[in-house]
Amino acid sequence: MTARILDGLALSRAIRAELAERAAELTARGTRPGLAVILVGDSPASAVYVRNKIRACTEADIHSIYEHMPADTTEAALLARIRELNADPSVHGILVQLPLPPQIDEARVIETISPAKDVDGFHLHNAGALLAGTPLFKPCTPLGVMKLLEHAGTPIEGADAVIVGRSNIVGKPLALMLTAANATVTICHSRTRDLAAHTRRADILVAAVGSARMITGDMIKPGATVIDVGINRIAEGPDAGKLCGDVDFDSASQVAGAITPVPGGVGPMTIAMLLANTVDSARRFAG
Ligand code: GUN
């Protein structure tokens, strides 16, 4: 079998075009959606992610504020800036790119962002509300995975969904969203015994571990839908410098029914969902 490719780039373009129209309507009514993005320090990977987010805002005519703070920024200075943005009526979404330098407590930063502007969906208010089924914002990467599955026509109700990875950003919130959509969900992680025994049962397999090409074709049920959240840069060998996912695409695509590529799968969907959350937030502020 050769898997159908789930093109997240094409879907994200279509979603962003729709969002640009919604943003223009809001702007015409006097509320131009605005997103503030803060990057602390000089991580090249984070700088690329942030640049892509800002570019996507510009293309959708969403107002963006980009703040690049030095690596030695104090926690107090960052919290003070967040409080200013909380009070700024031109800003409807605030994103602080993670990870942060070691002198800054990530949890305190997330809790300082107003839940009403927490377009990442990381604040305890939104995380708890996701558990209860009523969040203001859902985290962008798992939301993007759900949109990809819906667009692909993958049956979710009653499906066995296996998520490899239990992060607060992806694995845990995605488990809640798939459960809400009536899948039977298993979360696997680094201590899971016989990982392949779990992954081989999956109708929907999501890899979000950050380990290059660790999910191979022999770990996949024939015909399964495979979603690869990983973005890894290969350090050595013939593919050195290239990006790859957590799934070994070459072997997996021989077995799966549908699969996301890296790049061009989940990554662009994350950005589209960030813009969607920002436009939703602006609409809420507009009343
Ligand atoms: N770092 C990696 N992914 C994310 C994300 O979705 N949001 C933020 N703020 N930081 C990240």
- Say if 147 falls within a structural domain: yes
- From the candidates 7, 61, 88, 97, give the one annotated as an active-site residue: 97
| Top mutation candidate among 35, 113, 169, 269 for ligand 1, by most atoms within 8 Å of CB | 169
110 and 158 co-located in one domain: no
Structural domains of the chain, count: 2
- Say if 126 falls within a structural domain: no
What is the Cα–Cα distance from 23 to 45, expressed in whole angstroms? 28
- Say if 286 falls within a structural domain: no
Q: Does 120 qualify as catalytic in the annotation?
A: yes
- Please report, for residues 207, 246, 286, the alpha-carbon distance to residue 214 in angstroms, rounded to integers and kept in the order given: 9, 6, 46
What is the Cα–Cα distance from 209 to 214, expressed in whole angstroms? 9
183 and 85 co-located in one domain: no
Q: Is 85 exposed, middle or buried (0-12, 13-18, 19+ CB in 10 A)?
A: buried
246 and 179 co-located in one domain: yes
pLDDT tens readout for residues 19-50 = 999 999 999 999 999 999 999 999 999 999 99
145 and 211 co-located in one domain: yes
154 and 190 co-located in one domain: yes
CATH number at residue 201: 3.40.50.720
Residue 1 has pLDDT above 90, yes or no: no
Whole-number Å distance, alpha carbon 29 to ligand 1 midpoint, is 31
Relative to the CA of 141, which ligand 1 atom is closest? 6
- Say if 168 falls within a structural domain: yes
158 and 243 co-located in one domain: yes
Whole-number Å distance, alpha carbon 97 to ligand 1 midpoint, is 5
39 and 108 co-located in one domain: yes
Q: Which residues contact 238 (CB under 8 A, 6 or more apart)?
A: none
Q: Reduced to 3 states, what is the DSSP secondary structure of residue 35?
A: strand
In this prediction the pTM is 0.97
Going by alpha carbons, the residue nearest to atom 11 of ligand 1 is: 98
Check: CB of residue 59 under 8 Å from CB of residue 274: no
Q: Does 103 qualify as catalytic in the annotation?
A: no
Going by alpha carbons, the residue nearest to atom 9 of ligand 1 is: 97
Quick one: pLDDT at residue 285? 97
- From the candidates 117, 118, 120, 203, give the one annotated as an active-site residue: 120
Check: CB of residue 127 under 8 Å from CB of residue 168: yes
Whole-number Å distance, alpha carbon 141 to ligand 1 midpoint, is 9
Strands 204-207 and 225-228, sheet pairing? parallel
88 and 144 co-located in one domain: no
CA dihedral over 193, 159, 268, 34, signed as positive or negative: negative
Task: Summarize the confidence of residues 207-224 as an average pLDDT.
Answer: 97
- Domain range for 174 is 140-267
What is the Cα–Cα distance from 7 to 9, expressed in whole angstroms? 5
Check: CB of residue 156 under 8 Å from CB of residue 183: yes
149 and 73 co-located in one domain: no
CATH number at residue 77: 3.40.50.10860
Q: What is the Rg, in whole angstroms, of the alpha carbon atoms belonging to the chain?
A: 19
Task: Summarize the confidence of residues 259-275 as an average pLDDT.
Answer: 98
- Say if 20 falls within a structural domain: no
- From the candidates 53, 117, 138, 172, give the one annotated as an active-site residue: 53
Pocket of ligand 1 (CB under 6 A): 95-98, 120, 140-141, 169
Relative to the CA of 274, which ligand 1 atom is closest? 6
Whole-number Å distance, alpha carbon 1 to ligand 1 midpoint, is 35
Task: Summarize the confidence of residues 251-265 as an average pLDDT.
Answer: 98
158 and 261 co-located in one domain: yes
pLDDT tens readout for residues 113-123 = 999 999 999 99
Mean pLDDT of the chain: 97
Quick one: pLDDT at residue 141? 98
User: First and final CA of the chain: distance in angstroms?
Assistant: 50
Beta strands in 139-238 (DSSP E): 160-164, 184-188, 204-207, 225-228, 232-233
Closest by CA position to 164, among listed 230, 255, 234, 98: 230
Q: Does 53 qualify as catalytic in the annotation?
A: yes
- Say if 234 falls within a structural domain: yes
Check: CB of residue 229 under 8 Å from CB of residue 165: yes
